[in-house]
Structure 1
Amino acid sequence: MRRMALGTRLALLFAACTAAVSLGAGLLFSHASAQHFIELDQQLLESRLSQVRSLLGGLDTPDGLPARLPALHSELSHQADLALRISSHDGAAWFTSRPGLPPTPATPGLSTQHANGVDYRSLAVQLNGQGSPRLTLFLDITHHQHFLQGMQRLIWLTVGLSALATALLGAWAARRGLRPLRQIGQVAASVSARSLTTRLPVAQMPEELAELASTVNAMLQRLDDAFQRLSAFSADIAHELRTPLSNLLTHTQVTLTRPRSLEEYREALHGNLEELQWMAQMINDMLFLAKADHGLLVPGQVALALHEEVDALLEYYAPLAEDGEVQLLREGEALLQGDRPMLRRALSNLLDNALRFTPAGGQVRVTLEPGIRVCVANTGAAIDAAALPRLFDRFYRVDPARREGSSEHAGLGLAITRSIVQAHGGSIVAHCEGGWTRFVIELPEGE
């Protein structure tokens, strides 16, 4: 079954609330009116009773009743809807002013009775105390009952019309009130790869929906950013792979233009192998970054002496540093829980990057501090402040003269380093000042 629309639910809820309030108010008014009529009837009966008592004072037997009847009839004639019954204390009727009256109530006091299609309010009392004759006054209240019944019908009619009117007005109000939600739905339905720049007007939204609209806008902004990165990433991949593929095709075509010696074919295959190895490495790096983007990197938790790992890497890069006349230094010690291969790869990328941009006679320094804070710094040319945030972007190279498809560096090393650091719950930033370029890593301490 189709679920009921929110606007319809609100309209029915408004109608039910209005009907309940109207019914409660009507019933309360009806009860108050009935009680008011009872009080008026009681006052009228008591006033007539005092007059009847004065006319029948001293009456003990039916024999004294005929002498008092003329005055009694005269008194009753003043109000046509009033009737009287006089009976002995044991219930035997002595006098009844009107036929068709209901029986005398068993107990004294005010009561409501019904006889021959007529409603009566009766008041029964003893004339002169215990054992004396009983007087019962009957008041025709049929007109009261007709009024109350008409009022009850009016109440039900009012309840029905109020519920209907409230349902219609509630539907209209709900439709207008839910317009921002429909607007959010329309924006969400119109979102595509070509319309990620659409935003909801938060300032025009009600307070209750402003937060939702802000959340939707933030989601669209994240999608837009991710799509832009993906588009740029795809374009960068195409640029990076175009040159080596072109080199491979050209080299292979040239090699096949004429017969060559075995050694020449061997050299051609070695050249192609280098290009293929570089392409395979770049593809592996891109797969690594793709796993990082989807949160699939789960680093191991092994106790590591980070200074020992740094010393091993410095020893590995020592020949390269010696050829470039660069001094390698390590300061401080640090212990942490982490993934050894991942962290070695991250530090290796930083050291390789530092050695490439450190001039002869310069210095590369790795500083370890408690906390855990790792700083890889190198001397060299300053990097433009605007370029520092982009150093960790994929395929980004500071050198504007870089060659597309370089088989040496694809510009993925720092991006991989950041992914590894973030997978360990840390952060990495770059600074450049005073002739030093510093990459600072902050990692959580191991337990």
Structure 2
Amino acid sequence: MRRRISLTSRLALLFAACTAAVSLGAGLVFNQASEQHFIELDQQLLASRLSLLRRHLTDVGTQADLQTRLPALHEELSHQADLSVRVTSGNGATWFESRAGLPPAPSSTGLNTLHAQGTDYRSLAVALMPGSASPHLVLYLDITHHQHFLQGMQRLVWLTVGLSALVTALLGGWAARSGLRPLRQMGRITARVSARSLTTRLPVEQMPAELAQLADSLNAMLQRLDDAFQRLSAFSADIAHELRTPLSNLLTHTQVTLTRPRSLDAYREALHDNLEELQAMAQMINDMLFLAKADQGLLAPGDTPLALHDEVDSLLEYYALAAEEAAVQLTREGQAWLPGDRTMLRRALCNLLDNALRFTPAGGQVRITLAAGPSITVANTGSAIEATALPRLFDRFYRVDPSRHDGGEHAGLGLAITQSIVQAHGGRIQVASESDWTRFTLDFTGR
């Protein structure tokens, strides 16, 4: 498997490449500017020397005319060691060369760069007189020292590029390693996180601004994991506790039944008692499976338009006999409509009505109020719930008064199921308890 390049190495190489590219570009620009500068200087120098030589070669039309001017020409050239001259006829025949080994005359007039026998020249070819048959004067300026300077400059550019890239890679690696230290710290801290240390948090105040948001997100994730793990642990413990009681009852009742022979009716009665316990356990398991599906977002409520007042009236009619026996008055106020799942919503309202009837004293009231939005409020008279208990009412297996648990159908899952149903419909449930009234409000306004 090919080894992956670390982020520090990538940043160091990127810094080195950027520095090399900038240094190379700057070097090439400087080299080009220097070469152009030397060309301009050479052109000015050749132009000035051309004007001096023209005075000695005025009206030279033949090689014989040139011979009479050679002493003055040699005298002039003796003061300019880097300058060489060639005079040619109109047809290209050489009349005079001040130095042997000069490169051939350029094919075009003007400024040219030539090379011969290890020497570099800048040449300037001009006609001495108007006309195509005029003799030509070619000036050769030795620019070897210029070329040596430019070649040294090029070597210096490449050396600078290489050294800059190397130094930048080292400094970039150090800077990247120092800059990525908070990431390594985050890695070490998160590597120590386990189910037993979900309370570990990243030090956001010590992180740079670019990583503070990431650290906040990781801390929030750890907090959610911690909360979920705590709920799962508590849920597992509650499940074990809730199932232990009916299982113990079944075992004890069955063992007692089997201690001696009994009549058929006695066995039938024992099996009937066991059936009630098993039904309660089956209902509890179904409720837990329902909540597990809700936690995984697997509840898919329908979208049937419902007249909530008709649904509530149907439920009040169903609970009318139980309310009459408990001497509790059931009323409904208002109307509302909501697209949703009839079965789920009826189950949620049944849970609230069942709780309200159980905790409303004789002579009390259970009032359901519907409002546009829509919202549903189920209120009942009775003792107020302590403020410290309100935030936990929707926890699984939680009971305000555990001593009132009958060990049967009321396992403390009703309100948790109701909350899951309301949330699946895009709503929220709230509870308030003050004075002599306790109110559960199902708000679907933000749906």
Band the TM-score falls in, shorter-chain normalisation: over 0.9
Shift of 1:400: 4.6
Shift of 1:194: 0.7
Aligned twin of 2:265:
263
Q: Mapping of 1:391-406 within 5 angstroms? A: 391-403=393-405, 406=407
Q: Which amino acid aligns with 2:379?
A: A
2:139 pairs with one of 137, 140, 143 = 137
1:299-333 CA distances to partner (integer Å, 9 max, x unpaired)? Answer: 11222221121111111111111111100101112
Aligned twin of 1:434:
435
Aligned twin of 2:423:
422
* 2: CA distance, partners of 1:67 / 1:330: 136
> Does residue 354 of structure 2 align to residue 355 of structure 1?
no
> Could you tell me the TM-score, scaled by structure 2's length?
0.95
Aligned twin of 2:291:
289
Aligned twin of 1:229:
231
Aligned twin of 2:163:
161
* 1: CA distance, partners of 2:156 / 2:409: 93
Aligned twin of 1:93:
94
1:340 pairs with one of 334, 339, 342 = 342
1:41-60 CA distances to partner (integer Å, 9 max, x unpaired)? Answer: 12221222222122223333
* 1: CA distance, partners of 2:24 / 2:227: 58
Moved more, 283-292 or 269-278: 269-278
Shift of 1:257: 2.3
* 1: CA distance, partners of 2:3 / 2:244: 54
Q: Secondary structure at the match of 2:277?
A: helix
* 1: CA distance, partners of 2:357 / 2:202: 49
Q: Which amino acid aligns with 2:18?
A: C
Cα gap change, 1:445 to 1:3, in 2 (>3 Å): closer
Q: Which amino acid aligns with 2:243?
A: L
Q: Secondary structure at the match of 1:186?
A: helix
Q: Which amino acid aligns with 1:255?
A: T
* 2: CA distance, partners of 1:35 / 1:311: 99
Shift of 1:168: 2.2
* 2: CA distance, partners of 1:210 / 1:78: 76
1:234-282 CA distances to partner (integer Å, 9 max, x unpaired)? Answer: 1111221222222222222222223333333333222222222111111
Shift of 1:346: 0.5
Aligned twin of 2:123:
122
Cα gap change, 1:445 to 1:63, in 2 (>3 Å): closer
Q: Which amino acid aligns with 1:387?
A: A
* 2: CA distance, partners of 1:436 / 1:22: 81
- Asked whether the 8 Å contact 1:336–1:445 carries over to 2, the reply is no
- Asked whether the 8 Å contact 1:372–1:445 carries over to 2, the reply is no
1:274 pairs with one of 265, 270, 276 = 276
Shift of 1:445: 9.2
> Could you tell me the TM-score, scaled by structure 1's length?
0.95
1:341-400 CA distances to partner (integer Å, 9 max, x unpaired)? Answer: 111110000000000110111000111111111010000001112211211111111115
Aligned twin of 1:192:
194
Q: Which amino acid aligns with 2:54?
A: R
* 2: CA distance, partners of 1:241 / 1:445: 38
Aligned residues: 445
Aligned twin of 2:106:
105
Q: Which amino acid aligns with 1:314?
A: L
Aligned twin of 1:214:
216
Shift of 1:207: 2.0
Aligned twin of 1:377:
379
Unmatched tracts of structure 2, length 5 or more: none
Aligned twin of 2:31:
30
Q: Which amino acid aligns with 1:155?
A: V
- Asked whether the 8 Å contact 2:283–2:409 carries over to 1, the reply is no
Shift of 1:126: 2.3
Q: Which amino acid aligns with 1:52?
A: L
Aligned twin of 1:302:
304
* 2: CA distance, partners of 1:73 / 1:220: 95
- Asked whether the 8 Å contact 2:238–2:397 carries over to 1, the reply is yes
Q: Which amino acid aligns with 2:315?
A: L
Cα gap change, 1:376 to 1:27, in 2 (>3 Å): same
* 2: CA distance, partners of 1:280 / 1:103: 111
- Asked whether the 8 Å contact 1:112–1:122 carries over to 2, the reply is yes
* 2: CA distance, partners of 1:50 / 1:303: 105
- Asked whether the 8 Å contact 2:427–2:446 carries over to 1, the reply is no
Shift of 1:224: 0.5
Shift of 1:33: 1.1
Shift of 1:180: 2.4
Q: Secondary structure at the match of 1:250?
A: helix
Q: Secondary structure at the match of 1:371?
A: coil
Q: Secondary structure at the match of 1:333?
A: coil
Q: Percent identity?
A: 74
- Asked whether the 8 Å contact 1:7–1:175 carries over to 2, the reply is yes
Aligned twin of 1:152:
154
Q: Which amino acid aligns with 1:156?
A: W
* 2: CA distance, partners of 1:394 / 1:165: 64
